[in-house]
């Protein structure tokens, strides 16, 4: 199974149930940022393996909270002409106060 997860900063991550053929179940779920390229010289830590989907989400949000500059980049993309999406996880100028 493969899921898309949208983190608090608006970044997109893929979470997959991989179940490798090993007796340990602590590596069954993989999470990867959509911009992760896997190059060993990039020192990119936006990926990992954990035991459950909940742990994958927790690891993603922990990574985001440690590295987020407070700006939501998802709010920059138009969803339809003249209107932009707001994730409501940030305090951007697009957000409609309610």
Q: pLDDT of 14-66, one tens digit each?
A: 999 998 788 888 889 999 998 888 877 777 888 999 999 999 999 999 988 88
Question: What ranges in 1-98 are assigned the alpha helix state H?
Answer: 53-67
Task: Spell out where 1-98 has E strands.
Answer: 2-6, 12-17, 29-33, 47-50, 78-80, 83-84
CA 37 to CA 52: how far, in whole Å?
A: 23
Q: Residues for the chain: how many in total?
A: 98
Q: How do the domains of the chain map onto residue ranges?
A: 2-69
pLDDT in tens, 54-95: 999 999 999 888 877 665 555 555 555 555 555 555 555 555
């Amino acid at each position: 199974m493969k899921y898309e997860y949208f983190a608090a900063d608006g970044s997109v991550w893929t979470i997959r149930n991989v179940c490798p053929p090993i007796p340990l179940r602590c590596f069954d779920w993989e999470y990867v940022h959509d911009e992760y390229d896997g190059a060993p010289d990039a020192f990119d830590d936006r990926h990992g393996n954990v035991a459950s989907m909940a742990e994958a989400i927790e690891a993603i949000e922990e990574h985001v909270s440690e590295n987020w500059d407070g700006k939501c980049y998802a709010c920059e993309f138009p969803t339809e002409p003249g209107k932009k999406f707001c994730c409501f996880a940030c305090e951007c100028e697009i957000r409609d106060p309610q």
